[in-house]
Amino acid sequence: MDIYFWNIKNNKKAFDIICNMDFINNPILFSFAEYWDIDSYVNTRSKGINGLTYGIQKRTGFLSSNIDLISMSNYDYYSKVCFNLNDVVIYLFIIHLKAKNYSETNSREINTHYASKIVEEIDQSNMVNSIIIGDFNLSCFDDLMFSHFHFNSTNYFSENLKKESGSYHMDRINFYNPISSFNGDLSKGPPGTYYYKVQNWNQAWHIYDNALVSYSLAKYLEKSKCEIVTELSGNMLLKSNGQPNNMFSDHLPIKISFSIGGNNA
């Protein structure tokens, strides 16, 4: 099964690309964010596609086929989808945290709060098979990504590692972030999901769009199929200079892939 995320930047063309994917013949869950200016279009377009399960919330949504949906919940900066994949119950948190455009302090406080809130829910409810995917509006090397009391993630994983870690007598589920490995020119695709350059900062490629997979679930990941996506439904998402094509979005999609029960479905 392939799970995608894309910040579509209120762009109808980007959403049309998602809708034109072959959901019926492929097990896909496509999550997306930032469509509040085109929410009526997104709702109408979603309802018009036969055979799809969809959830359109305040800031985040998804389209899927071949999914055994258990429940959906909606919160201010994220939504939660629970589904069954070959007898494995998976909790998917689709997030779009706050950008720092207007206030870096405000953004930091809100994102710190929701990082704690999401992870505490996962730990307290023992959601051992969990995924947190979306636009974190945080660098993949931000302290919140690694902090034991926040996202508690690593950019490496092997099955002999402990599924939980303890600090101050508090155990937390460990998460693996495969996308953060692509932040550089050793990436098999672009060296990031988002490109912007400021005068006093030389690094222009960033990964704000991430997928955190709990260690219990990470053993099912097909690492070779995880990627920053540059082509969807026959559309190239990069300009000739290799940067994201703003005709669709200034973000690139990400994809993670699972094989559970001996196949991809």
pTM confidence score: 0.94
Query: Is residue 51 over pLDDT 90?
Result: no
Rounded CA gap, 75 and 244, in Å? 29
**Confidence class of residue 265 from pLDDT cuts 50, 70 and 90?**
very low
Q: Which of 34, 27, 32 lies closest to 2 in space, CA to CA? A: 27
Per-residue confidence at 100, pLDDT binned at 50, 70, 90? confident
Question: For residues 197-234, b (16+ Cβ closer than 10 Å) or e, as one string?
Answer: eeeeeeeebbbbbbbbbbbbbbebbeeeebbbbbebee
Mean pLDDT of 76-102: 93
Query: Which amino acid appears at position 130 of this protein?
Result: S
Domains of the chain, first to last: 2-257 (3.60.10.10)
Contact 141, 151 (CB under 8 A): no
Residue 114: which H helix or E strand, with range?
helix 104-124
Q: Are 225 and 262 in contact (CB under 8 A)?
A: no
Tell me the three state secondary structure of residue 158. coil
Confidence of residue 91 (pLDDT cuts 50, 70, 90): very high
- pLDDT of 141 strictly over 60: yes
Q: How far, CA to CA in Å, does 18 sit from each of 15, 98, 146, 194, 232?
A: 5, 24, 31, 19, 8
Most confident range, picked from 188-192, 203-207, 212-216, 260-264: 212-216
Interior angle at CA 254, CA 252 and CA 260, nearest 5: 165
Calculate helix-pair angle for 12-19, 39-47, nearest 10 degrees: 20
- Rg, C-alpha atoms of the chain: 17
pLDDT surpasses 50 at 35? yes
- State phi, psi for 254 to the nearest 5 degrees: -125, 155
